[in-house]
């Protein structure tokens, strides 16, 4: 399995930006399905974005479309989540996840799709 370490979280005001990083080790992410999930206090973990099929496809949950961008640097073995226009509703612990499975099309992310997880990085947005 691949080991994942997230970084880049922090506290920002509403409307601000953050870029999360997910550094992978132990295995290449180039052929994997990579995703970001988030979990707010008292809520279930939610799939936010994914990049898959050799970086040719992406998925975003409706609430972040147009504001978040997922990308992957195979040379750095790192996945990024650029978050712009942050809102208080984006406050959560953000987790990176990796799957060996390939998908033709992702219509919704589920935790059971991913075997490897990072420890998370906290994002707090104040209004």
Query: In whole angstroms, what is the distance from residue 78 CA to residue 63 CA?
Result: 24
19-60 pLDDT tens trace:
999 999 988 888 899 999 999 999 999 999 999 999 999 999
| pLDDT for the residue 1 | 81
| pLDDT for the residue 27 | 86
68-121 pLDDT tens trace:
999 999 899 999 999 999 999 999 999 999 999 999 999 999 999 999 999 999
| pLDDT for the residue 125 | 98
| pLDDT for the residue 59 | 98
Q: From 63, 66, 72, 19, select the one nearest 40 (Cα to Cα).
A: 63
| pLDDT for the residue 30 | 83
| pLDDT for the residue 96 | 98
Query: In whole angstroms, what is the distance from residue 92 CA to residue 94 CA?
Result: 6
């Amino acid at each position: 399995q691949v080991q994942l370490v997230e970084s880049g979280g922090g506290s920002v005001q509403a409307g601000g930006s953050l870029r999360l990083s997910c550094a992978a080790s132990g295995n290449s992410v180039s052929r994997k399905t990579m995703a970001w999930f988030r979990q707010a206090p008292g809520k279930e973990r939610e799939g936010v974005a994914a990049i898959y099929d050799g970086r040719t496809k992406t998925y975003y949950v409706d609430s972040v479309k147009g504001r978040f961008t997922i990308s992957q640097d195979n040379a750095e073995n790192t996945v990024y989540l650029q978050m712009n226009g942050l809102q208080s509703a984006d406050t959560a612990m953000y987790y990176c996840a990796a799957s060996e499975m390939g998908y033709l099309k992702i219509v919704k992310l589920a935790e059971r799709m991913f075997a490897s997880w990072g420890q998370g990085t906290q994002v707090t947005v104040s209004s």
